[in-house]
Amino acid sequence: MTTISLKIPDMVNQKISQVAEKRGINKSQLIRQALERMLESKDSISSSCLEAASGLAGSLNGPIDLSYDKKHMNGFGK
């Protein structure tokens, strides 16, 4: 097992200590469990903007690509 050290705010340390004590485990175990849950979650960090916005992609009606027809750009810019 690899060891990682990090700095955390005092308030976060207090909360970790309280939760770990309540669960009857040490702080390292609690942090490992929290990290594992976060990394396994489907809400975890997306690998791309498209993946993060996949529920929105293609949800608007209109031209597929505005760059093909300059009339769609009237009123933008100047």
Is 21 within a domain?
yes
Total number of domains constituting the chain: 1
Assess whether pLDDT exceeds 70 at residue 23: yes
Mark out the alpha helices in 1-78 (DSSP H runs). Answer: 10-23, 27-40, 49-52
Tokens 């004590």 found at: 21
d(C-alpha 78, C-alpha 61), whole Å: 25
User: What pLDDT, in 10s, does the model give residues 34-76?
Assistant: 999 988 876 666 677 777 777 777 777 766 666 666 776 777 7
Is 67 within a domain?
no
With cut-offs at 50, 70 and 90, classify the pLDDT of residue 17: very high
Is 30 within a domain?
yes
Could you tell me how far CA 58 lies from the centroid of its own chain? 22
H or E element: which one contains 11? helix 10-23
Is 19 within a domain?
yes
User: What pLDDT, in 10s, does the model give residues 25-36?
Assistant: 999 999 999 999
Is 35 within a domain?
yes
Is 48 within a domain?
no
Q: Which residue range(s) make up the domain with 31? A: 15-39
Is 27 within a domain?
yes
Is 74 within a domain?
no
Assess whether pLDDT exceeds 80 at residue 24: yes
End-to-end CA distance of the chain: 59
